[in-house]
Amino acid sequence: MSSASNANSSSGIRGAAVRFEHVQKSYDGEVLVVKDLNLNIAPGEFVTMLGPSGSGKTTCLMMLAGFEPATHGEIFLNDKPINNVPPRKRGIGMVFQNYALFPHMSVAENLAFPLEIRKMGKSERDAKVKRALDMVELGAFGNRRPAQLSGGQQQRVAVARALVFDPDLVLMDEPLGALDKQLREQMQYEIKHIHESLGVSVVYVTHDQTEALTMSDRVAVFQDGVIQQLSSPDALYESPQNSFVAQFIGENNKLSGVVTDINNDICSMTLDDGTKVQSQAVNIGDVGSRSTLSLRPERIELEPTEQRDNMVPGVVKEVLYLGDHLRIVMAVAGNDEFIVKVPNGGRSTIPVEGNTYNLGWSAEDAKALDPVN
């Protein structure tokens, strides 16, 4: 989207363009793991494939890397079909889930391996290895064995090795999965930084939505072998196309009911317990069809001081104190696990369990999704 086009216009771009056309994949001839995948990745773009395990995202990455053949369809790299190109000739850098650093080689030998294969002279090779190690701030660790490094350091070596032979495209398969939270956040920043400074295209696979949102230009949300939504991170969060995406990205409350009226992009709904609400019509059927409302917990106001589009009463069932905010579980319109997040302003009183409070939200913050006729 916007950042991708920005990257295109800047001068340092050398990234490759990737195109999936009607790609299908089946391992056993009975179940399609990937169903009709169409995806365009612009040069220099950082695209994340996000989804629960078994959703087909890693299979897509393996097809792109060449380790799994596509059952049907064609993958293009810089507009050239690569279905019949073996992995070693695709020139794609790859970072594996468990780093796949060669245990019998030192860090420097690991990095020199792809350069040796390219028959690069020793001095040039050494210079490149040193530059790559410096890039990940491991200049002093060239002589160590991978087993002598911490998880974070191994991760950086893996990134450096995937980049050392200057590929136009780098694939990363859940590279941060084995790291602890703090290190993961730091590495997200570093990978993002390296991507921006080198201008390579990156296809990144993860099941961690925070990772996807912080790093990517665009995120493809996978479920059941289908891309449910392909958008920039903010669009993904603000306007999910269906309740799976809404549920998968961030926290989400679901309320179901029947559409009673549609007025431009605002629709009226009667919830299952009879409550009438207004919401944004993102993806609904005709009047009379069922739909699911998606509502972010932090967009709900507890005891609003002004009139809001929707005012619904709810009974407090549980209050969790989380420091910067309160997390309140309420029974609202038939949903017993309705979450409300209240920022901890210091002065606000803590709701009492069992009491009834008014909840208010704007119509634009409630998205009507998933038409069922």
Partner 1 sequence: MTASTALDSNTSELAQGAPLTTKDGQPLKRSLGRALRREKIRALFLILPLLAFVLITFIFPIGDMLFRSVENSIVEKTLPGTVVALQDWDSESDEVPGERVFSALADDMMLAQELKIHTRIGTRINYDQPGISSVFRKSGRRIKRLDSDASKDAFIALNAAWGTPDAWTTLTSSAQWPESFPQTAIAFDNWKAWLASEEGDDIDPSTQVPYGFTYANLFHDLSSMENGALNNLAKSSDSAIASLFAGVPDAIDNFPTDDFKGQFADIEKGWVNIQNWQAIKRLSPAFTDSYFLAAVDSERTEAGVQQKPANERFYVTLFVRTIVLSIVITLACILLGYPIAYLLATLSVRSSNLILILVLLPFWTSLLVRTSSWKVLLQQQGVINDLLVWIGLVADDGRLVMINNMTGTIIAMTHILLPFMILPLYSVMKTISPSYMRAAKSMGASDTLAFWRIYFPNTIAGIGAGSILVFILAIGYYITPALVGGTKGVFISNQIAYHISSSLNWGLAAALGTILLVLVLALYWTYDRIVGIDNVKLG
Q: What residue ranges bind partner 1 (CB under 8 A)? A: 65-67, 86-94, 96-98, 100, 102-104, 113-114, 117-118, 161-162, 165, 171
Q: What one-letter code names the amino acid at 328? A: I
Residue closer to partner 1, measured from CB, 66 or 233: 66
Facing residues of 293 across strands?
A: 255, 368
Residue closer to partner 1, measured from CB, 102 or 237: 102
Q: How does DSSP classify residue 241?
A: S
Contacts of 265 (CB under 8 A, 6+ apart): 280, 281
Task: Give backbone dihedrals phi and psi of 135, rounded to 5 degrees, phi first.
Answer: -60, -35
Nearest distance from residue 30's CB to partner 1, in Å? 16
Q: How does DSSP classify residue 89?
A: G
Residue closer to partner 1, measured from CB, 58 or 223: 58
What is the token pair recorded at 258? Answer: 């029947």
Contact 339, 327 (CB under 8 A): yes
Residue closer to partner 1, measured from CB, 45 or 174: 174
CB burial class (10 A; 0-12, 13-18, 19+) of residue 57? buried
Facing residues of 201 across strands?
A: 169
Contacts of 32 (CB under 8 A, 6+ apart): 24, 25, 26, 71, 225
Rounded CA separation 194/101 (Å): 20
Residue closer to partner 1, measured from CB, 8 or 97: 97
Give the DSSP H or E segment for 198.
helix 181-198
Nearest distance from residue 88's CB to partner 1, in Å? 5
Residue closer to partner 1, measured from CB, 62 or 359: 62
